[in-house]
Amino acid sequence: MGGASEHQGGHNHDHSHSHGHDHGEGEGEGADGAHGHSHGGCADGEGSYSVGLHVAAIFVVLLASLIGTAIPLVGKYAPALRMPPFAFVVGKCMATGVVLVVATIHMINHAAIGFKEDCVPARFRESYDAYAFLLAVIAALIMHAVDVTVTAFVVGDEDAGAGAGEDGDKRVCEPHGDDVKAAACDVDDQGVVVGAGHRSSSHHHHCAVGPQPGKTQRLVSALFMEFAVTAHSLFIGLTLGIARDPETVTLIVALALHQLFEGLALGARIAESSMRLSLELLLALIFSFSAPLGTAVGVGVVAGARVSVAGVVFTLLQAISSAFCGGILLYLAFILLLGDFPSDMRRHAGPGAPHRGWRYRGIL
């Protein structure tokens, strides 16, 4: 009877933890089997960390960033090399889908699992069930606050410049700088003039209604955009730098696409701002090196500080960074879906557009 009671008690104990992560040594294999294949958990083995792979990732992301920012700048000085606007739209749609999937299924989901790993202190693990989603929401709200603040500042500055003009009632749609020939402008259903210039992940790129924005306004807009995209690229690069090997390849693809198309948007804005070539190159290089720098910092933390990829510090660091950067990417993806997608559909697949049917299918 005593043996049966002991067996029954052990059986009940095992089932009491079946909902989350088992804590008994005998159940460790089951926990690893459930999660080790995807993110490594607190166990060694599949949660390995290869410095060589992450160093290669630095150069892949750097190359994608450089190509993205270089295309608009080269097109400014060599019109024959300008990228067709519709090709940019299709690529942007593909990148939006990749970013959306990586943000939700990959980063936020894995962060939620990471906060529940066995090596995380029980007091922290059991205190709150949704740390990953809370951090993702906080990150999205921070991005929204930055977006609103920067947009209000830039639009207010442009309105002040417009008020000083003499042709306040005249509608002008001019993509600024020598890059203008590749852009087109339409008037949407509300009568707002919409530019074919690119919109970044966090800022609006509309043609002006009224006098041409001055050189100062265009420069301020480019600098604010530079700050925003560089800051979040740094954080996302850090997440790649501390990712375990099973996640790294997926993150490399997602981050390379993200940097490529964000670089295109930033490069177009820089090309429009009529600044000196030396300053254009400086801003392009700052953005291009931001994500690789974040990745290098992550590699240094893991390899240089000898942080165990199976330890509590690494697990929590990765969960926090994945949740926060997942929220950033989620916000950026929805900005593209809700902002750029409808205007791109009207501009490139709306009534009167050439090859409308094929373009409509291509964007979808």
Query: Could you give phi then psi for residue 186, rounded to 5 degrees?
Result: -125, 160
User: By percentage, how much of the chain surpasses pLDDT 90?
Assistant: 10
Highest-confidence segment of 150-154, 278-282, 333-337:
278-282
pLDDT in tens, 160-201: 555 555 444 444 444 444 444 344 344 343 333 343 344 444
CA dihedral 42, 233, 95, 244 (to 10 degrees): -20
* Range with lowest mean pLDDT among 5-14, 226-235, 322-331: 5-14
Q: Is residue 165 part of a domain?
A: yes
How far does the chain reach from its first CA to its final CA, in angstroms?
67
The pLDDT score that the predictor gives to residue 356 is 60
Q: Is residue 32 part of a domain?
A: no
Higher pLDDT, 65 or 197: 65
Distance of alpha carbon 71 from the chain centroid: 20
Contacts of 2 (CB under 8 A, 6+ apart): none
Q: Is residue 238 part of a domain?
A: yes
Q: Is residue 18 part of a domain?
A: no
Inter-axis angle of helices 215-241 and 51-77, to 10 degrees? Answer: 160
| Mean of the per-residue pLDDT values of the chain | 70
Q: Is residue 200 part of a domain?
A: yes
How many Å apart are CA 19 and CA 29, to the nearest integer?
16
- Looking at the whole model, is its pTM more than 0.85? no
Higher pLDDT, 7 or 311: 311
Give bridge partners of residue 194 from the DSSP assignment.
186
Which of 336, 333, 148, 112 has the alpha carbon at shortest distance from 236? 333
Q: Are 174 and 180 in contact (CB under 8 A)?
A: yes
CA dihedral 48, 50, 51, 57 (to 10 degrees): -120
Q: How confident is the model at residue 298 (pLDDT cuts 50, 70, 90)?
A: confident
Which single residue is written with the structure tokens 């003009």? 165
How many Å apart are CA 55 and CA 76, to the nearest integer?
33
267 pLDDT above the threshold of 70: yes
64 pLDDT above the threshold of 90: yes
The pLDDT score that the predictor gives to residue 359 is 64
Q: Is residue 11 part of a domain?
A: no
Domain containing residue 214: 46-363
Domains held by the chain: number: 1
| DSSP letters spanning 90-156 | HHHHHHHHHHHHIIIIIIIHHHHHHTT-TTS-HHHHHH-S-HHHHHHHHHHHHHHHHHHHHHHHHHH
Taking residues 236-256, report their average pLDDT: 84
H-run or E-run covering 187? strand 185-187
How many Å apart are CA 95 and CA 163, to the nearest integer?
38
Give bridge partners of residue 185 from the DSSP assignment.
195
* Range with lowest mean pLDDT among 23-32, 98-107, 225-234, 274-283: 23-32
Q: Is residue 8 part of a domain?
A: no
H-run or E-run covering 37? helix 28-39
Higher pLDDT, 124 or 187: 124
Q: How confident is the model at residue 288 (pLDDT cuts 50, 70, 90)?
A: very high
Q: Is residue 37 part of a domain?
A: no
Angle at 102 between CA 96 and CA 107, to 5 degrees: 145
The pLDDT score that the predictor gives to residue 73 is 86
H-run or E-run covering 330? helix 312-335
H-run or E-run covering 195? strand 193-195
87 pLDDT above the threshold of 80: no
